[in-house]
Amino acid sequence: MLALLGATTLMLVAGRWVLPAASGEANLKPENVEIHIIDDNFFLKWNSSSESVRNVTFSADYQILGTDNWKKLPGCQNTASTKCNFSSVELKNVFEKIELRIRAEEGNNTSIWYEVEPFVPFLEAQIGPPDVHLEAEDKAIILSISPPGTEDSIMWATDRLNFRYSVVIWKNSSSLEERTETVYPEDKIYKLSPEITYCLKVKAELPLQSRVGYYSPVYCINTTERRNVPSPENIQINADNQVCVLKWDYPYENTTFRAQWLRAFFKKIPGKHSDKWKQILNCENVTTTRCVFPRDAFPNGIYYVRVQASNGNGTSFWSEEKKFYIEMKTVIFPPVISLKSITDDSLHVSVGASEESENMSVNQLYPLIYEVIFWENTSNAERKVLEKRTEFTFLDLKPLTVYCVKARALIENDRRNKSSSFSDTVCEKTKPGDTSKTWLKAGICTALFSLPVVIYVVRLFLRGVNYVFFPSSKPPSSVDEYFSDQPLKNLLLSTSEEQTERCFIIENASIITEIEETNEIDEVHKKYNSQTSQDSGNYSNEDENSGSKISEEFLQQDSV
Ligand SMILES: *[C@@H]1O[C@H](CO)[C@@H](O)[C@H](O)[C@H]1NC(C)=O
Ligand SMILES: *[C@@H]1O[C@H](CO)[C@@H](O)[C@H](O)[C@H]1NC(C)=O
Ligand SMILES: *[C@@H]1O[C@H](CO)[C@@H](O)[C@H](O)[C@H]1NC(C)=O
Ligand SMILES: *[C@@H]1O[C@H](CO)[C@@H](O)[C@H](O)[C@H]1NC(C)=O
Ligand SMILES: *[C@@H]1O[C@H](CO)[C@@H](O)[C@H](O)[C@H]1NC(C)=O
Ligand SMILES: *[C@@H]1O[C@H](CO)[C@@H](O)[C@H](O)[C@H]1NC(C)=O
Ligand SMILES: *[C@@H]1O[C@H](CO)[C@@H](O)[C@H](O)[C@H]1NC(C)=O
Ligand SMILES: *[C@@H]1O[C@H](CO)[C@@H](O)[C@H](O)[C@H]1NC(C)=O
Ligand SMILES: *[C@@H]1O[C@H](CO)[C@@H](O)[C@H](O)[C@H]1NC(C)=O
Ligand SMILES: *[C@@H]1O[C@H](CO)[C@@H](O)[C@H](O)[C@H]1NC(C)=O
Ligand SMILES: *[C@@H]1O[C@H](CO)[C@@H](O)[C@H](O)[C@H]1NC(C)=O
Ligand SMILES: *[C@@H]1O[C@H](CO)[C@@H](O)[C@H](O)[C@H]1NC(C)=O
């Protein structure tokens, strides 16, 4: 390219080569080149150094940083204006650094290239305004928000579910009384008045990346006239042993109610989910202002419930939605241990399930491993054993010495590493010295290993089996197989202090990251990630100062 110009015609002005004027006019070059990226729209803007009326155009090239393979930037060739739209550029991914250069052209003459500071498109991208659809009820507005960018957006492919939306709403008649709410893509704004014009605007944010988007245009809608069948109010849900009790307030008699539930993660997925609401059994056509359903009607997770009233005058709008959390905790009880002195130099430890845990109902069994800590009473030196068995023999001990032991149970292969608390400490003195100990050791150890009954008891949540005996210290392989099918990693385990299963309420339904929705969100991410390319994996940003690491961390953080 340089060759085209001929060395003698080049001038260096302010560190940049410029096109010399044909007839002594001002130098011609693009200046102040800026890149603007909004969602998947890419724009280049610059100023021309010359106000000249000459037939000057501009053209730009791009390449992946360091590839030395310049390509013409589509939409930015022979442009007469001082901006161009290069949204049609095909980037394999938006996390790679791009180099871009632009020059002025006049006939066959061209300026030197003006090189733009290399940039990572994802980091330059701004969040555009979301698309909003509104529907009115008498005291609420239903919002359906489409995430910024198109459905097949490359820019936000891994972020579509992470957007948080904030709504500013006001009565058109008094824009001073603004209210700001954080909402899901599919959500409702409550506590409005009938027959009022409300206006609102919405912006999207990516909180983990500290990015705030542009506000949508202002949308206005009138609420409807008051329905003559009011909605149930003050929805409450409480746990009572094995059941959840759903209650609400209603002022009139002779009304029937029905209640529905929705898994909370649907709210994070853009789109209409009205068909995902499910009837709660036992809460259909009830004439009381409460209904009761078994806690095990729901798998572990976060839900919404809503209630509707019907009477001779018609049907109400749905009540406000109440968020609640059904949690089934796996409680691991501390084991019970016994310590027997066998010989002068060994002690035998048996670890078993506690009596209280044997009474618990169990629906799933998990393979436990035991951590046994053994020490001489007068010393701090501990021996620690972590194994999947219940019988342990500690050898090479001193005669007539007090040794102590405590143990706790852990679930094997559990990534959360949850465990029971430690058992009580049990101490025992070794026997006095004995010369015939050799045969004893061999004989007794063998005998003991086959004797005890191993009890695996994990309190989970429901379904039949109380406890299971395994007549050897290791479960048979068929049992192992059964165990390995269990979704261990999704357990919510607790320590023994929290031995209740609860269905409790999340009072403040303020949003998204506050609670674990482990498998739900995993599912959602799986679904959405599968839509994105292979490239959605581990990008890390070379620009260490820009603060955000672009990787699936963003997804993971939301789910934890
Ligand atoms: C171009 O110049 C105008 C005025 O000369 C200025 O207002 C504008 O900000 C400049 N644009 C850029 C991209 O520098
Ligand atoms: C610009 O180009 C057009 C034709 O391409 C020509 O008619 C016109 O004279 C040119 N203007 C200048 C200032 O060179
Ligand atoms: C930029 O170009 C894309 C397609 O290449 C188009 O969809 C978009 O509307 C354009 N934007 C503007 C502001 O012209
Ligand atoms: C190109 O530059 C040469 C000298 O540098 C000049 O004579 C010629 O007029 C220029 N051509 C155009 C189209 O401006
Ligand atoms: C531009 O260059 C081409 C060959 O490089 C030549 O054929 C053409 O006449 C030139 N045009 C002008 C306006 O100098
Ligand atoms: C909002 O109020 C203004 C004046 O108060 C009025 O001109 C406008 O039409 C109203 N907008 C809607 C959507 O009612
Ligand atoms: C909304 O209500 C206002 C009066 O509050 C009325 O002027 C306007 O026509 C209504 N708009 C619609 C779409 O019904
Ligand atoms: C409710 O229904 C019963 C029987 O249908 C009727 O006797 C009673 O008056 C009704 N109560 C009200 C408040 O409508
Ligand atoms: C509840 O009422 C509706 C309409 O009256 C009816 O279709 C439905 O079968 C009833 N369901 C139950 C469980 O009674
Ligand atoms: C219907 O509404 C009227 C007043 O709006 C009320 O008096 C009546 O009790 C309602 N009927 C039922 C069945 O609730
Ligand atoms: C276990 O249940 C039995 C009877 O079902 C009862 O007698 C015993 O006290 C219970 N043990 C514990 C620790 O709750
Ligand atoms: C363990 O040692 C402490 C003193 O270190 C003593 O008070 C205690 O009685 C010993 N326990 C047993 C079971 O001997």
Q: How many CB atoms lie under 10 A from the CB of residue 363?
A: 14
Pick 2-125's CATH classification: 2.60.40.10, 3.30.413.10, 3.40.1080.10, 3.30.70.3270.
Answer: 2.60.40.10
What pLDDT, in 10s, does the model give residues 134-175?
999 999 999 999 999 888 888 998 888 889 999 999 999 987
- Asked if residue 370 has pLDDT above 70, the reply is yes
Any atom of ligand 9 within 6 Å of the Cβ of 284: yes
Residues in contact with ligand 3 by the CB-under-6-Å rule are 41, 85, 87-88
Most confidently modeled of 220-224, 270-274, 554-558?
A: 220-224
What is the number of the ligand 11 atom nearest to the C-alpha of 358? Answer: 1
What is the number of the ligand 8 atom nearest to the C-alpha of 252? Answer: 13
Amino acid at 127: I
DSSP conformational letter for 480: H
Closest to 264 (Cα-Cα) out of 221, 304, 297, 227: 304
Q: Is the pLDDT higher at 270 or at 427?
A: 427
Residue 498: CB partners within 8 Å, gap ≥ 6?
329, 331
Residue 522 — very low, low, confident or very high, per pLDDT cuts 50/70/90? very low
What pLDDT, in 10s, does the model give residues 165-182?
999 999 999 878 899 999
What b/e sequence results for 269-305 when a residue is b if at least 16 CB atoms lie within 10 Å of its CB, and e otherwise?
bbeebeeebeebeebeebeebebebebbebebbbbbb
CA of 137 to the centre of ligand 8 (A): 28
Amino acid at 387: E
Domain residue spans in the chain?
2-125, 127-222, 233-329, 336-431, 435-469, 477-559
* Three-state DSSP class for residue 302: strand
Percent over 70 (pLDDT), the chain:
67
Pick 336-431's CATH classification: 2.60.120.10, 2.60.40.10, 3.40.1410.10, 1.10.3720.10.
Answer: 2.60.40.10
Closest to 231 (Cα-Cα) out of 205, 257, 197, 203: 257
Nearest CA residue ID for atom 11, ligand 1: 47
Extract the tokens encoding 147: 């995430």
CA of 287 to the centre of ligand 8 (A): 12
Q: What whole-number distance in Å separates Cα of residue 102 and Cα of residue 89?
A: 15
* Three-state DSSP class for residue 352: strand
Residue 415 — very low, low, confident or very high, per pLDDT cuts 50/70/90? low
Mean pLDDT of the chain: 73
What is the number of the ligand 2 atom nearest to the C-alpha of 55? Answer: 1
Q: How many CB atoms lie under 10 A from the CB of residue 171?
A: 16
Any atom of ligand 10 within 6 Å of the Cβ of 532: no
CA of 264 to the centre of ligand 9 (A): 26
Percent over 90 (pLDDT), the chain:
40
Contact present, 379 and 466 (Cβ < 8 Å): no
The architecture that CATH gives domain 127-222 is Sandwich (2.60)
Q: In what order do the strands lie in the sheet containing 391-394?
A: 336-343, 346-352, 391-394
Q: Do domains 2-125 and 336-431 have the same CATH topology?
A: yes
Residue 380: CB partners within 8 Å, gap ≥ 6?
none
What's 233-329's CATH class? mainly beta
Q: What whole-number distance in Å separates Cα of residue 116 and Cα of residue 100?
A: 5
Q: What whole-number distance in Å separates Cα of residue 19 and Cα of residue 171?
A: 58
DSSP conformational letter for 296: G
Ramachandran quadrant class, 509 (left: phi over 0; alpha: psi -120 to 50; beta: rest): alpha
